[in-house]
Chain A
Amino acid sequence: MAVNRDLSKNKLIEEFLKGLWTENPVLVMVLGMCPVLAVSNTAINSLAMGLATMFVLVFSSFLVSIFRKLIPAQVRITTFIIIIATFVTVVDMLLAAHLPVIHKELGAFISLIVVNCVILGRQEAFASKNPPINALSDALGVSVGFVFALFCLGSVREILGNGSFFGIPLFGSDFEPWIVMILPPGGFFALGFILLFFNQIRQRKKRAREKNGSGASWKQSRYTTEYITENEHGISD
C-alpha cells in the first residue's frame, strides 16, 4: 500500500516536471504563441498574463477531469470551450475589479485566453482521460512552464527595450534602450533567439548523450562549417 502511494506520488511529480521542462508548452511545443508574443513587452505584464492563464488552466482541467465521465464524446470540445470561457470571464472580471491598470494594459488579450491552444490541448490530451489529482498536477506543471517561458521573454524584452526590470531602471542614463524590443518585431526576435538558445542546449545534451569523443568533435566541426557556408550564401545573395 505504502509502495503504491509512493509510486503514484512519483508519477505526480513526473507529470508536473514533464509540463515544466521536457514538454514545455512554449519552448518545446511552440503552442499558445498569440498571448506569449502580444503581452510580453514588460515583465509585469507577462507575469500577470501567465498567472491568469494558470488560473484558467488549473481550474478548467480540474473541472473537466471531475466531469470526464459525464461529458459525451461528440460534444466534448464545445463543453471544454464553455468551461474555459467561464473561467476566463471570471479572471477577466477579477482583474478588472482588483488590478484595473494591468487589466487595461492587457486589454482584449485576457479574453483571448479562451482560444489559447495550450489550455484546450491539455483538456483534450490529459484532463479528459485522467483522475482529478493527476489532471491538477499536469495542469500545474504545464502552467508553471508557461509562466516561466512568458516571464523569460517579458524580462528580456523589458531589460533590453526599456532598460528596466519591473519598472526599476537597471542601467545608468547612458544606456540607449533598444526600442524595437518592446515593439511587435521585438517579440518575434526575442522568442526566436530564446528558442534558438534552448535548441542549442538540447542539441548539445543530445550530442553529449551520443558521447564517444571523436564523433562529437567531428559533428562540432561540421556544424561550424555548415554555419560558415550559410553565411557565405547570405553574402553572395
Chain B
Amino acid sequence: MGELFWIFISALLVNNFVLSYFLGICPFLGVSNKLETAFRLGLANIFVMIITALCAWLLNTLILPYAPYLRLISFIIVIASTVQFVEMAIKKLSPDLFRALGIFLPLITTNCAILGLALFATNKGYDLLESLIYALGAGGGITLAFVLMAGIREETRILDVPRVIEGTALSLIIAGILSLTFMGFAGMFSAA
C-alpha cells in the first residue's frame, strides 16, 4: 500500500510529467490559455492515460516477450485505436461526458505524454495495479501543471509585457519558474 502511494506521489509531484520530464509540452504551451479548457484537457489526459496503462500492460505481458522490436509500433497502433473505440462508446453511452472531453481525445492520442507513460511504465516493470496508479498520478500531475499554467497566463494577458518576450518565450520562462518550485518536492523522497 505504501509503495502504491509513493508511485502516485512521485508521478504527481516529484517527477511531474510536464515540468520535469517535458512530456506534453505542446498542449502545455499552446492550448492552456483558459482555465476551464486546461482543466478539461487535463481530465481527458487522465482518462486516456488509464486506458493507455491498461493497453501497455496487456501488450507487454502478452505479445512483447515474443517480438520486442514491435514494441513502439504496437503501442502506438493499439493505443490510438483503443482510444477511438472508447470515444465512440462514450459518444453513444454518455453524451454529457463526450461533450466535456470529446474534442480533446483524438488530439491527445499522439501526445508524447501518452506514449511516454506506456514506455516508462513498462520500463519500470510495473504490474497492472501499479501501472494504473502510475497513470492516475501522471494524469493528475499533467492536470495540475495545465491548470497552474492557464491561471498564470490568464493573468499575464492583462499585463503589458514587452513585445520581444510575448508568446512562447514568456510561457517558457513561466514554465521554468513553475518547474523550479516543483523541484522542491524532490526532498520528499529523501525524507521518506
Interface residues of A (CB under 8 A from B): 30-31, 33-34, 37-38, 78, 81-82, 85-86, 88-89, 92-93, 107-108, 111-112, 114-117, 120, 180, 183-189, 191-193, 195-196, 199-200, 203, 223, 226-227, 229-230, 233
Contact = CB atoms under 8 A, between A and B. Distances in A.
A223 B163 contact: yes
Given A192-B172, A196-B165, A185 B29 contact: no
B168 A30 contact: yes
A183 B175 CA distance: 13
Contacts, number: 120
A115 B168 contact: no
A33 B168 CA distance: 11
A192 B169 contact: yes
27 contacts: A30-B29, A82-B73, A85-B73, A85-B76, A86-B73, A89-B72, A89-B73, A108-B120, A112-B119, A120-B110, A184-B19, A185-B177, A185-B183, A186-B176, A187-B22, A189-B173, A191-B172, A192-B168, A192-B169, A195-B172, A199-B165, A203-B163, A223-B163, A226-B160, A230-B160, A233-B159, A233-B160
A25 to B, nearest CB: 12
Interface of B: 19-26, 29, 69, 71-73, 76-77, 80, 110-112, 115-116, 119-120, 123, 159-165, 168-170, 172-173, 175-177, 179-180, 183
A114 B72 contact: yes
A183 B181 CA distance: 12
A108 B123 contact: yes
B176 A192 contact: yes
Given A37-B22, A38-B22, A112-B119, A188 B172 contact: yes
Contacts of A195: 168-169, 172
A184 B164 contact: no
A105 to B, nearest CB: 14
A229 B23 contact: no
A220 to B, nearest CB: 12
B26 A33 contact: yes
B110 A188 contact: no
